[in-house]
Every structure is written in structure tokens, then in C-alpha cells.
A and B are shown apart, each in its own frame.
Chain A
């Protein structure tokens, strides 16, 4: 089959050329490797920031304190009004006795103080714990809750929430910009490195053209060579990601210092990042080669 023979010949030539121009191949491969390591780190950071942001978003809770004078009937009415609001994901009612109990369970200090309280002594208030769908609009929902009759105070960590979200948003966006910039820079670096290889093969290209090689005939081995360089260059970063991230996850036991900053589970995360790295490597290698060889073709 003619196309297969041509492909076979190109793959053979590409492999030969990688070994024949060994030092330049090593230069291109290291160039891809180093950038992909940085890309990998940025990607892991970016995914983790996103993960933490999502977890925090999910965890945002509005606490609505109820007037202690409300009857059960009135509490039901408040609940009904809450269900009618937009942006409510789920809610939970806790009466002040339950709250007192859970507080006593959580700390010995509370226990000593609260143990002897009667029902009338209990200064706590019945509450609704409300989770929202969209954390960005938490303040709107909080304001709506405030307007409901029977709810005295609404708390959701005003200020902190908004600031945290915007900081994480900025970090995430910067990381994406860094990754994209790195990909572009590598593509050009590869292109220039391969140009050096191709410069030494100018004569070969010239003769190929003279004996009737089409542009594709000439380009294909170089593009396949770029593909191989990309694959070889992404090997070390992929190994680092697969084993390094797992080790890191194990070392931190899944969270950085506080349960608040959860790391992404290693599986299938490391394989997703690895596939992306391989794809970037291959793309960058092929594009770099194609760009480099174009200079010597008359198109």
C-alpha cells in the first residue's frame, strides 16, 4: 500500500534523523522537558486552586437566627418562605437544644459551662443553616433572608467570602495565562532549535526538491520527527507528575496544613494532567518542526 510505505519511510527517516543529529535532538528534547515541567506545576496548582475554590463554594453556609419567641407554626412559615427563594441549594433547621448539645460535644469548656443550663437559661437561638447554589450571589440571598419576618440576624462571613473568591479567581486566571504563555514560548524555542538541525540538512532538502519531492514529502519526516521529540520530551514530566504528585499527596495526607485546603485526589487526576502534557509536547514538537522547515520550502 503506497500511503503506508510512504508513512513507513517517513517514520524510519525521522528516527534516523533524531539519532544522526543527536546533540540537537537532545537540545530540543530538554527544551520541551523543562517547559513541560513548569507547565505541569502550573497545571497542578491551577487544578488544585480550582478544587479548593469549589469545595469552599460548596461549604458556604448562611446562618439565619430565628426569633426565640416564634411558635412552631411560625417557624414552619419561615421555612416555607425560605424554600421559595432562588439560589437555595439545601437547608437544615436546628433548634437551640440541638445546638447546645453539639457545642458541648465539640469542646470540654462548653460542656462545663452549658451542662447546668435549663431550657430557659439557654441564650442560643434556633437557626436555619442554608447552603446556596451560587456562592457569588450569596450576599443577595442573605439580604433576602433578612427581610423574612421572624429571622433576626443573618450571618455568612460577609467580606471574607467575596475576597477569597476573587483572590482564587485571580490566581487561577494567572496560572492559565502562564501555562498558555509557556506553551507558545516552547513552540518557538523548539522551532528555532529544529531550525538549527534543518540548517545542516539544507542540502538534503535542496536535493529532495530537485529529484521531485513534493512539499509534503519533504515536510512529513520533519513533522514526524517533531512528534517524536515531543513524546520523548514529555516522558520525564509525565513520570514526575504521576509519581511526584502521588508522593506529595501522601506526604500532605491529602490536605495542605488545614482541612480547608484539600488536594485533588491523585487518580485519575495525574493521568489527566499527563495526557495533557503529552498532547502539548506533541503539538509543540510538530508545530515547531513544521514552522522550521517551512523556511526552506518554496511554497
Chain B
């Protein structure tokens, strides 16, 4: 079953820079895909277009039946509620506790306190950090903060998880722990697309790798590795 179809997408920023050029891609349900490429290659732009922060100038992006490219600004929330997003800088609210940060994402749905509590605790149980629900983000390590961000991203049980360099700020040991968490989530059926620089992670995971250079797909490696040393 196909979850994402990207077809002939072109993205040109107002500055005139073309970030993505004639890119096509299909992603099946339950897949785990790496998007790799050097800085400025267009991988972040691609991720941004998938959660409709950016809109392509040409081409179509269909995610779970929604035509994301044509989605109006005031309807973007409908897409966002169906997917989870994880960032390099975690994007947590420092005034809220770990529990509140995770619950934040489902409170807007108007669930009752019991449902919010159950879902939040379930997500924290699955991802961690364990026993820190009442701590504030500033009291946590980078890896722990990223776990909170992942918990927030999956608390609504999305079909798709988008990760933009989630291990970019972490050391290799912590990165690997985060990858284990993501793999675990993937095993439960969630499709994951992850943009990364992290050679070690990509090589160890043996997943499909899409290499983007200058806004185009350079290579697709099934069970791929980070072969291009120049990257």
C-alpha cells in the first residue's frame, strides 16, 4: 500500500534558489526511509513540503489521500494531525513539564482528561524518558529531550513520522538509542521518513536510502549504506 506519492515536484524559493527539482518518490506504508544529502541539497525542503510548511511550485504530493500541495493554509492542521514531526532542536516548550509537552499535542483535539492522560502516559511509556514526566525540558539531557519530542510526535498515533535530523545534536551512543526508539515505532506500523547527515546511523540501520543532491534524487539504495564519501 502506497502512503506517499511525490510526483515531479519543483520548489523554488522567492530568492530564486531552486531547492528541489523535478523530484518523484513513492513510499509504502510501514517503510523506514532515510533521506541523505549534503547541506543545501534539498532534503529539509522535501521534509517541509511533506508537512506542508512549504508548498511546491509544481508537481503533486499525495499523503494518505490528501493532496498536500493543494492544501489551503487554514486547512493544514488536518494534515498535521495525521502525522508526527521530530526536529533536530526538539522544539519543546520550556515552561511546560514533560507530561504537559506531550499532552499539548492532543489537548487541542478536545479529548477528555482521562483520554489525554492515557495516551500521554502510553507515549511516554513507549519512548521515555522514564520517570521524568514532571521534569522540565531544561532539566533533561539532549537525548531525553528528543525522546520527549518523539513522544509528542507519536502521542496521536500518526501513520507517518517525519524526522528532520533528529540525531543532529546528539552523540553517537545517544543517537543510536534514539534510532532504536524510532525502529521500535516503525515496527508498530508507523511509516518513518528521516532526513539525516549521520553516516553511522544510516549504515547500521540497513534501510532504503534516498540520496538527494542539488534538489534531485541522485541514487536510491535498497538496504543502503552511506557510500558517497564526499557527502
Contacts and interface: CB of A to CB of B under 8 A. Distances in A.
A131 to B, nearest CB: 62
Interface string B45-67: 00000010000000000000000
Interface string A173-210: 00000000000000000000000000000011011111
Interface in B47-103: 51, 73-74, 76-81, 85, 91, 93, 95
Would you list the 5 A-B pairs with minimal beta carbon distance, nearest first?
A: A212-B80, A212-B81, A211-B105, A2-B110, A214-B77
A212 B105 contact: yes
Interface stretch (A3-11, A51-59, A145-153, A154-162): A3-11
Contacts of A5: 110-112
A217 interface: yes
Nearest to A211: B105
Interface of A: 2-3, 5-6, 9, 20, 203-204, 206-215, 217, 298-299
Interface of B: 51, 73-74, 76-81, 85, 91, 93, 95, 104-105, 107-112, 152, 156
Given A203-B93, A217-B77, A212 B110 contact: no
B77 A20 contact: no
Nearest to A4: B110
23 contacts: A3-B110, A5-B110, A6-B108, A6-B110, A9-B107, A203-B91, A204-B93, A206-B91, A208-B104, A209-B76, A209-B80, A210-B80, A210-B85, A210-B91, A211-B80, A211-B105, A211-B108, A212-B77, A212-B105, A213-B77, A214-B74, A217-B77, A217-B108
A209 B77 contact: yes
Contacts of A299: 73-74
Contacts, number: 55
A217 B77 CA distance: 10
Interface SS of chain A: helix, strand, loop or mixed?
helix
Nearest to A3: B110
A291 to B, nearest CB: 17
Given A203-B93, A204-B93, A212 B108 contact: yes
A217 B108 CA distance: 7
A187 to B, nearest CB: 24
Nearest to B113: A5
Nearest to A6: B110
Nearest to B94: A203
Contacts of B91: 203, 206-207, 210
Contacts of A210: 51, 80, 85, 91
A6 B110 CA distance: 5
Contacts of B51: 210
Nearest to B92: A207
B108 A20 contact: no
Given A204-B93, A207-B93, A210-B80, A215 B110 contact: no
Contacts of B111: 5
Nearest to A215: B74
Contacts of A209: 76-77, 80
B162 to A, nearest CB: 10
Nearest to B155: A211
Nearest to A204: B93
B91 to A, nearest CB: 5
Most B Cβ at <10 Å: residue of A2, A207, A212, A215: A212
A208 B76 contact: no
A217 B105 CA distance: 12
